Homo-oligomer: A and B are copies of this chain.
Amino acid sequence: MTLDTPQPGSLRPGGRTARVREAVLRAAGDLLAERGFASLDLAEVAARADVGKTTVYRRWRTPTGLIADLLVDMAETSLPHANTGSLDGDLLANARLVAKTLTDPRQAPLFKAVIAAATCDEATTEALRRFYDTRLTAWLPCVTAAISRGELPPETDGRAVLSAVSAPLYYRLLASGDPLDDEVATAAAEAAALAARAGLFTSKKS
């Protein structure tokens, strides 16, 4: 979106660049979701996006370069954190959002594909880390607010709390294959809130 901002004294010069990026990332995401990352091909992405092959090769160079940029875009479009007034409400909203993403017919295979890609390439690993850093950081205010309300110990590690909410959902998606339904999301949120209140997510410095 930032690329789309008109520059002074020009006729929307960022316009085409931004539209090309949007089309290419959309095509890359579709192909990743349909077939996984192992068969991602820049020429095919270009054809699907209706963009010149040379443009795609020049700008993204490799499939992993394209996936890294897709992760930047995915981080930018993360939904803002909930503000329900209670830790339980906020964590439940977070769990349901993650569960919705990981059961979505396009998003679920897309997340599998980018996580798989990250296992094979260092730059993609870094992009994936930054993506989760952005996602976790965006929701930290829920934990900070709970601390302010006296719901949680002051030294609670918000990242650990939010990781505890997401983790059981990702474990089902990537490892066990067990169902990922609203009951599981609710239990994940409640378990994380309970453990956080008990002080299990504070840094135990010796």
**Residue on B nearest A131 in the bound complex, by CB:** B175
- What's the Cα separation between A170 and B169 when bound, in Å? 11
> Number of A interface residues, CB 8 Å?
47
Q: Are B163 and A171 in contact (CB under 8 A)?
A: yes
Contacts of A119 in B (CB 8 A): 36-37, 109, 112-113, 115-116, 174
CB distance from A77 to the nearest CB of B (A): 18
Q: How far is the CA of A145 from the CA of B89 in the complex (A)?
A: 34
Check: A120 CB closer than 8 A to any chain B CB: yes
In A148-206, the 8 Å CB interface with B consists of 159-160, 163-164, 166-168, 170-172, 174-178, 183-184, 187, 190-192, 194-195, 198, 200-201, 203-204
Q: Is the interface of A mostly helix, strand, loop or mixed?
A: helix
**Shortest beta-carbon distance, A177 to chain B, in Å?**
4
Q: List A80-128 residues whose CB lies under 8 Å from chain B.
A: 109, 112-113, 115-120, 125, 128
Q: Check A200 against B195 for contact (C-beta < 8 Å).
A: no
Check B176 against A136 for contact (C-beta < 8 Å).
yes
In the complex, the chain B residue whose C-beta lies closest to that of A171 is: B167
A38 interface residue (CB < 8 Å to B): yes
- Please tell me if the beta carbons of B194 and A128 are within 8 angstroms of each other in the complex: no
Is B132 within 8 A of A177, CB to CB?
yes
A166 to chain B, nearest CB (A): 6
A161–B199 CA distance with the chains assembled, in angstroms:
19
How many angstroms from the CA of A203 to the CA of B183 in the assembled complex?
Answer: 9
Residues of B within 8 A of A125 (CB): 177
Given contacts A113-B119, A166-B175, A170-B175, 11 further A-B contacts (CB under 8 A): A38-B120, A109-B119, A115-B175, A118-B174, A119-B174, A128-B177, A159-B178, A166-B171, A167-B168, A190-B198, A194-B195
A interface residues with partner B (beta carbon < 8 Å) = 36-39, 109, 112-113, 115-120, 125, 128-129, 132-133, 136, 159-160, 163-164, 166-168, 170-172, 174-178, 183-184, 187, 190-192, 194-195, 198, 200-201, 203-204
